[in-house]
């Protein structure tokens, strides 16, 4: 999709299902999000965050309901696996932080945080926190590798936008289980 990207695989986790995006791919992906979705991050709740050029659903989410919902993560993982079709990975993006390719078909148990060695940083590395399906502190995006669908979370508005026909349908079918409010 993005042409030739230098492959600098940095695998994370016991089963190595998280691959850190290279600096080059990170820039390309975020440039696309800013341009295609008119992404405008802000701490001001009144500011418009996205302007999608296609149909997208927006849901309000409640952290208390999320944290009490033991099946939420399993349901979301299943939805992403179905939405992926034959793809072997999807993007998981944490605004202004480490971003990944992720294969939700492979279970990986990891302890937070994971220390990632990188000589470009003081202390020869940094801690990685994997984004959650609930935007609990930053913008977390889960997007198909070809951008045909996506799940974009806003931490201060406590909202999630979903685009892509199949993903929208699956989220709507599971809306009650997920405790999403239209």
> What are the helix and strand counts (H, E) for the chain?
5, 10
Contact of 91 with 99, CB cutoff 8 Å: yes
* Model pLDDT for residues 64-123, shown as the tens digit of each residue: 888 788 889 899 999 999 999 999 999 999 998 889 999 999 876 666 677 778 888 788
Tens of pLDDT along 155-170?
989 999 999 999 999 9
CA distances to 43, 68, 72, 136, 179 from 63, in Å: 18, 8, 12, 8, 10
pTM of the predicted structure, to 2 decimals: 0.87
The DSSP code for 135 is -
């Amino acid at each position: 999709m993005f042409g030739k990207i230098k492959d600098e695989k940095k695998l994370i986790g016991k089963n190595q299902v998280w691959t850190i995006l290279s600096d080059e791919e990170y820039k390309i992906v975020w440039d696309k999000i800013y341009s295609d979705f008119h992404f405008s991050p802000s701490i001001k709740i009144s500011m418009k965050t996205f302007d999608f050029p296609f149909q997208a659903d927006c849901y309000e989410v409640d952290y208390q309901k999320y944290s009490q919902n033991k099946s939420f993560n399993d349901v979301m993982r299943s939805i992403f696996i179905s939405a992926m079709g034959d793809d072997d990975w999807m993007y998981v993006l944490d605004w202004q932080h480490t971003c990944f390719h992720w294969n939700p078909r492979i279970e990986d148990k990891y302890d937070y945080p994971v220390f990632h060695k990188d000589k470009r940083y003081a202390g020869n590395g940094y801690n990685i926190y994997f984004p959650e399906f609930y935007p609990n502190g930053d913008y977390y995006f889960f997007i198909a590798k070809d951008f045909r669908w996506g799940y974009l979370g806003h931490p201060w508005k406590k909202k999630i936008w979903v685009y892509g026909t199949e993903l929208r349908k699956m989220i709507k079918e599971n809306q009650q289980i997920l405790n999403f409010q239209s």
